[in-house]
């Protein structure tokens, strides 16, 4: 995934200073830029702990979260950093990315970020 968080210090900063919203399938952390340049990209980290399940279930949960987020990426201000944490419900076989995308929109709106769908 292009524009992803890589360093532990970047994750720690978003966890510590970012806004948090909890949903059924995902926990969303967002850190809005203070002085971003127009060419800064939106960075996102997708995480699934062992509580979600075995490796297959964790990988599926992360794929669903990434697919759901791709349609929303362009609506964030440049320089925004996000962490999407998969919850146990995200790994269920019946869960599809449109449902998770709608939940993400609601979570980000709760944080005061106006997210527009780009279908």
> Domain for residue 95, yes or no?
yes
> Domain for residue 115, yes or no?
no
> Domain for residue 94, yes or no?
yes
> Domain for residue 2, yes or no?
no
Q: Residue 42's domain spans which residues?
A: 8-110
Contact present, 28 and 82 (Cβ < 8 Å): yes
The H-or-E segment that residue 26 falls in is strand 26-31
**What CATH number should be reported for the domain holding residue 87?**
3.30.230.10
> Domain for residue 84, yes or no?
yes
> Domain for residue 44, yes or no?
yes
Query: What total of structural domains would you count in the chain?
Result: 1
Q: What is the pLDDT along the chain (119 residues), one digit of tens a residue?
A: 568 899 999 999 999 999 999 999 999 999 988 765 556 788 999 999 999 999 999 999 999 999 999 989 888 888 899 999 999 988 888 888 899 999 999 999 999 888 876 65
What 3-state DSSP class applies to 32? Answer: coil
């Amino acid at each position: 995934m292009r524009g992803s968080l890589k360093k532990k210090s970047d994750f720690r900063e978003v966890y510590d200073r970012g806004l948090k919203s909890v949903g059924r399938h995902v926990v969303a952390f967002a850190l809005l830029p203070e002085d971003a340049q127009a060419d800064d990209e939106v960075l996102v980290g997708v995480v699934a702990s062992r509580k979600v399940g075995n490796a297959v279930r964790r990988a599926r949960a992360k794929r669903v979260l990434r697919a759901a987020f791709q349609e929303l990426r362009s609506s964030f201000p440049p320089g925004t950093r996000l962490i999407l944490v998969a919850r146990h419900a995200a790994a269920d076989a019946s869960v599809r990315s449109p449902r998770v995308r709608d939940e993400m929109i609601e979570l980000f709106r709760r944080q005061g970020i106006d997210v527009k769908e780009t279908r």
